[in-house]
Amino acid sequence: DQQVKQNSPSLSVQEGRISILNCDYTNSMFDYFLWYKKYPAEGPTFLISISSIKDKNEDGRFTVFLNKSAKHLSLHIVPSQPGDSAVYFCAASAWNYGQNFVFGPGTRLSVLP
């Protein structure tokens, strides 16, 4: 049973437009969420995080929104650039409850020039 779901395996966006990647989770104990980006032949790299006490966190072109009641978070990339083309993983943890990070299956983003 997947606790963290990314229901879109892939997404294509035009350069300069907004990319929105979605993530849903089932465990209400999750209290910390992260997004990782992964290029081929490399390990995942940390992108942005959000704690459950917030509903938004912004870092440059990247913004993560958290809707706790819907158990949903999203990553917005504005404007999208070709270099953003990668696989994006959503991860969640409930550390205080002994739950280590659980990763979603990933969404492959393609930003078209």
Binding site for other proteins (CB under 8 A): 4, 6, 32, 34, 36, 41-46, 49, 51, 89, 91, 93, 95-96, 98, 100-106
Per the DSSP assignment, residues forming a β-bridge with 112 are 14
State the Cα–Cα distance between residues 113 and 108, nearest whole angstrom: 16
Task: Name the H helices within the chain.
Answer: none
Task: Quote the least distance from Cβ 73 to other proteins, whole Å.
Answer: 15
Sign of CA dihedral 51, 34, 4, 55: positive
Task: Quote the least distance from Cβ 78 to other proteins, whole Å.
Answer: 23
Residue 63 or 93 with smaller CB distance to other proteins: 93
Residue 15 or 71 with smaller CB distance to other proteins: 71
Q: 74 in helix, strand or coil?
A: strand
Residue 19 or 35 with smaller CB distance to other proteins: 35
Report yes or no: 37 and 44 within 8 Å, Cβ to Cβ: yes
Report yes or no: 13 and 19 within 8 Å, Cβ to Cβ: yes
Task: Quote the least distance from Cβ 93 to other proteins, whole Å.
Answer: 8
Residue 53 or 70 with smaller CB distance to other proteins: 53
